[in-house]
Structure 1
Amino acid sequence: MPSDCIPFRETNYFSSLICDYLDQKDSLHSYYNHFPKVQNFAAQIKEKQESFSIENREVLFEALQKQYKDFQVSETTDAHLKSLVNTNTFTVTTGHQLNLFTGPLYFLYKIISTINLTKVLKENYPDYNFVPVYWMATEDHDFDEINYFNLFGKKIQWNREDGGAVGIFDTKGLDRVFEVFSSEIGPGSNAEYLKSLFKEAYLGHNSLADATRYLANTLFGEYGLVIVDGDDSTLKQLFTPFMKRELLEEIAYNQILPKANTLKKEGYKVQVNPREINLFYLADGLRERIIRDGERFVVNETDISWSKDELLNHLELEPQKFSPNAIMRPLYQEVILPNLCYIGGGGELAYWLELKSYFEEVAVPFPMLLLRNSVLIHTKKQAAKIEKLEVSYKELFLKQHELINRKVRRISNIDINFDPQRKHLKEQFKDMYTLADQTDVTFLNAVKAQEIKQLKGLEVLEKRLLKAQRRKLSDHVKRLTAIQNELFPNQSLQERNRNFSEIYLEYGKDLIPMLIEHLNPLQGEFLVLEL
């Protein structure tokens, strides 16, 4: 059950841009459309309904029917798929890479946030249908980012040749990964289910995209999740006019770069920078940038090139060979989906916030942007340890040395704060400065140097005293360090390191229903959850 809720800003794990966005800082209002509050969805629905054609709905429906052809779907997912042709149906979307066996734990939180938001919207807007969508990043080519997951602190990795869009990768070699996983996961009914899930997903399907669809459909099918693969020729036909304008007018570059530069001037880190052309070219084992070279267009690091007319003709005939990059993928998604809201992590929302003027230029409604749920899961046993240590959950988010120092200062029977001594020393030096004013500048500098030296000496003594107390209270420090390391592996967020399988071993089939019950997508705080 929920143990605590901590504002994202106070966790110190989220950027100033995201924290200021969540606070709806005035200077950021021009970077988004409607802030994700329940009452604001009425305007978002109206905008999307007026711009999204029935023809696009029919193309989307037909494409998804083909994508799901060899998969069993739940009644809820089937109803959601069929409802997409209706003008009163809208989607809420999250996206994620095809990480091996879901990768980090937050894969679950993204999808559950999406599912739960559709429930909230249905309760508040009963005349409409809302479909949760998982957009598979099948066209990504960063294989090193997805070819592993962590299990009990070990890296379970798939080694194979890299090259091209990962969605079409065959699953050869994953039998060896399955052997390693099986040996590490241990015995028990929950472990046997996980082994079966891995085996059916990765050894029972020929491509990484199909394996990932099976996995996500098995975990979330009963909640009506719809899974979209954008690497689809019929869907890309809908996007062809936008790709044509990108090639000829460099719209993304011209619209996004000024926004990115303004964010940078305002002190924020820019997540991505646009290129002159934000499209890749897909071929066997290849996903490379298209760049302009004088009057011709070339595929970077290859001999492939076209004249302008040749390229446009190729785009019309084979749009599936053109792939949007991180800058254009959001637009592609919004063109082919009747989408209201995108749910993502802090890094994702940071680059979405650069895109609003781009969407306006191409006349596509900009979706709401919602930060996904973040969760720290702990057990009753861990909760008892935390209570005994008399430390708050908020304090556990501190860097380890800060946590230890704060705790040692609190429980020590000696005051490890030399601020009174610093104040006394500065008072003494006031008289010296009065005397120095009556002499020459060399004496004044000597007084200043002596003051700095003695203040530094106090700082050194304070640190030595703190270190001595840490040794004296070493048992307490060890227990505090141990519990933080359990909850924050590698001194980072649990959700960014652990795989869901570790948690599933403890809670089994109850895990996802419990998360569905407790994750509120509009809460806007980091949830600490005891299960």
Structure 2
Amino acid sequence: MDCMTTKLNDKDQFIEKIKNSDSTLAAFYNYDAMNEQNYKLKLDQATNGREKAVAAVISNYMEDLSLSEAQENNIAQLQQGAKVIIGGQQAGLFGGPLYTFHKIFSIISLSNSLSSKYNQQVIPVFWIAGEDHDFEEVNHTFTYNNKEAKLYKTKYHTMEPPETSVSNYYPNKLQLKDALKQFLKQQPETNHTKELIELCHSIIERYDSWTDIFKALLHEVFKAYGLLLIDAHNPDLRQIEKPFIQTIIEQHETIDHAFRATQGQTMAAGLNQMIQTNTNVHLFLEEDNMRQLISYENGEFVLTKSDKRYSKHELLQLAEQEPERFSNNVVTRPLMEEWLFNTVAFIGGPSEIKYWAELHGVFNTLSVDMPIVLPRLRISYINERIEKVINKYQLSVDDILTNGVHNAKASFIREHASQTVIDQIEEMKQQQQSFYETIKSEVAGNNDNEQLVAKNNDIHLTQYDYLLKRYLLNIERENAISMKHFNEINESLHPMDGLQERIWNPLQIMNEYGIDVFSPSTYPPLRYTFDHIILKP
């Protein structure tokens, strides 16, 4: 598998600011990600004392998997206080978008690099956001049909979408298999399709909850790398979190004030607001089979979807007795993650790393050290077919990844059209506009005639626009094969006006190149980089 990197001209310069150690960001992050000394500093920090308990929970959580030697060793190292590189994601259907896998590769790459450089084991940990209840975000994925050069949406359908955390949701196995069938229906049958179906069916049959199915797929793909997995909504993990949940309840006003104040500071510094929340407690509670946001009103803690109210004493008692019913929101989740783990660096998506800036004051308020914050790797896959078509039209891969093929396609159409026809139509429009200006001055002051002339002008200009549009459309139809080529390129590398990894699903890559395509024996060893990675399987 060939590997190369390229520098994209990102419209959003936030990652570039991190790369350049921008002074604006320094006020909102504890560590400059570009300063090598900070990695050594984090590695040398004293442990938080929770590593044995956390390692035991992870060991129990992963006991239904066939652990690799690397995973068993990493659990043992974690128990002894080894530091971690961590990141997480919601449990998407069939693994979710490709960037979920790329986030994991980012975690693995950086942990391997630091382990080698500093001669001490750094553990890759992936945090499954099982506490999330927004099922509409995880119940679908997309597949690219190469023959039609078109994307298709595949969705797991249920008549009763869960309102509880997805970790508590148990999907219908037959419907999951049907969703897989619909997904692969848009794919060519390859030498790997049967094996991929068998793998997915075995996981669906063996595991029951939505997040356990997700966990099992990730494990099969990444076990050889020693990746450790944990569900944020794991009941045993909640037992460890109990005192911190109670701290959040006790200090909810101080936490909310710190968050609002820091968010105001980031916006004053020119950064976009990332977190939008109306709560002032920043915790959820499972009540009546629903995950409900807690707010503090008139001296009581109230829930958003029921009439249930709690005093502070009652809520603290509930946290003591049933901590598994509590979960974090966007503000407290990073705090809980870092309170649990001895983290060197957190790796997140572009939006994630931005909103961490708004939490700087909350980290300080709760005396939790914010780790080094880094963006995940960005990766695109170009197969032989797409590369051949790109070369045929002499297109720039960088431009395609950034802007798609719209401009290149328009230029192609114009090149194959008669410039004389185009110029004549444009000239007629100018003449019409000139004619309109003359007539308008003649009827000035007569409202009815002014409206008549204006309307007539609009009709003529619309007709000329229509003429040009239809003429160019006919050129498109005459070059249907080339138009399909442009669509192929766009849907492959810039689908839905974004990067491939945000839309495509990893099963598509596995179906084309084998279920071991992401394994160490096949996938190239990646070096952590801010540049965009292009892989040619």
Please give the TM-score of this superposition, normalised by the length of structure 2.
0.81
1:83 aligns to 2:77 (yes or no) = yes
Secondary structure at the residue paired with 2:519? helix
Cα distance in 2, alignment partners of residues 407 and 25 from structure 1: 41
Contact 2:203 2:217 in 1 (8 A): yes
1:247-286 paired onto structure 2 within 5 Å: 247-249=249-251, 250-274=253-277, 275-283=279-287, 285-286=289-290
User: After alignment, is 70-79 or 138-147 more displaced?
Assistant: 70-79
1:143 aligns with 2:143: no
Aligned residue runs from structure 1 range 42-53, under 5 A:
42-46=40-44, 49-50=45-46, 52-53=47-48
Q: Deviations over 1:193-231 (max 9, x none)?
A: 221222122232121222222111111111111001222
What is the alpha-carbon distance in structure 1 between the residues aligned to residue 521 and residue 261 of structure 2? 40
Tell whether the 8 Å contact from 2:379 to 2:501 is kept in structure 1 after alignment: yes
Separation of aligned partners in 2, 1:349 and 1:204: 35
Partner Cα distance (1:136, 1:234) in 2: 15
2:173 maps to a residue whose letter is L
Deviation at residue 306 of structure 1 after TM alignment: 1.7
Seq. identity, %: 24
Deviations, residues 477-528 of structure 1 (Å, cap 9, x unaligned): 5533442233323333211111111111211044213798546453101122
**Structure 2 residue 323 is matched with structure 1 residue 324:** no
CA contact (8 A) 2:403 2:494 kept: no
Per-residue deviation, 1:391: 1.0
Distance change in 2, residues 1:180/1:95 (3 Å): closer
Q: Tell whether the 8 Å contact from 1:245 to 1:251 is kept in structure 2 after alignment.
A: no
| Other-structure match for 1:398 | 403
Deviation of residue 402 (structure 1)? Answer: 3.0
- Structure 1 CA distance for aligned equivalents of residues 465 and 30 of structure 2: 51
Shift of 1:313: 1.9
| 2:506 counterpart of 1:507 | no
Q: Distance in 1 between matches of 2:487 and 2:365?
A: 52
2:387 to 379, 383, 386: 383
Q: Any idea what SS the aligned residue of 1:135 has?
A: strand
Deviations 1:226-259 (A, max 9, x none): 0012223443344334333332332332112222
Give the Cα–Cα distance (whole angstroms) in 2 for the partners of residues 133 and 264 of structure 1: 32
Long gaps (5+) in structure 1: 419-459
Q: Is the 8 A contact 1:377 1:530 kept in 2?
A: yes
Q: Structure 1 255/374 Cα, relative in aligned 2: closer, same or farther at 3 Å?
A: same
Preserved contact between residue 97 and residue 146 of structure 1 (Cα < 8 Å): yes
Q: Distance in 1 between matches of 2:261 and 2:56?
A: 38
- Structure 1 segments of 4+ aligned residues over 6 angstroms from their partners: 408-418, 460-471
Give 1:279 shift: 0.4
Q: Is the 8 A contact 2:154 2:182 kept in 1?
A: no
Alpha-carbon deviations, 1:254-307, whole Å to 9, x = none? 112222223333443211135311000024521101111212212222132222
Q: 2:88 aligns with which of 56, 73, 95?
A: 95
Partner deviation per Cα, 1:80-99 (whole Å, 9 max, x = no partner): 11111213x11111101111
**CA offsets per residue over residues 395-420 of structure 1, 9 Å max, x none?**
213154333345668899979999xx
The answer on whether the counterparts of 1:6 and 1:394 sit within 8 Å (CA) in structure 2 is yes
Per the alignment, residue 155 of structure 2 pairs with 157
Instruction: From the superposition, tell whether residues 278 and 179 of structure 1 become closer, same or farther in structure 2 (CA, over 3 Å).
Output: same
Relative to structure 1, the CA distance from residue 302 to residue 516 in structure 2 (aligned partners, 3 Å threshold; closer, same or farther) is farther
Q: 1:258 to 1:235 in 2, by over 3 A?
A: same
CA 1:80–1:322 in 2, change beyond 3 Å: closer, same or farther?
Answer: same
Contact 1:342 1:369 in 2 (8 A): yes
Per the alignment, do residues 20 and 417 of structure 1 end up closer, same or farther by CA in structure 2, a change over 3 Å counting? farther
- Aligned-residue RMSD, C-alpha: 3.2
Residue identity opposite 2:65 in structure 1: F
* Distance in 2, Cα, partners of 1:331 & 1:317: 22
Which secondary structure state, in structure 2, belongs to the residue aligned with residue 343 of structure 1?
strand
- Corresponding residue pairs, total: 484
- Per-residue Cα deviation, 1:364-413 (whole angstroms, up to 9, x for no partner): 11111111111111112221221121111012131543333456688999
What amino acid maps onto 2:134 in structure 1?
D
Against the structure 1 CA distance between its residues 384 and 151, is the aligned structure 2 distance closer, same or farther, given a 3 Å change threshold?
closer
TM-score normalised to the size of structure 1?
A: 0.82
Are 1:404 and 1:480, in contact at CA under 8 Å, matched by a contact in 2? yes
What residue in structure 1 maps to residue 30 of structure 2?
Answer: 33
Q: Distance in 2 between matches of 1:184 and 1:59?
A: 40
Structure 2: gaps spanning 5 or more residues: 145-150, 424-462
Counterpart residue number, 1:5: 5
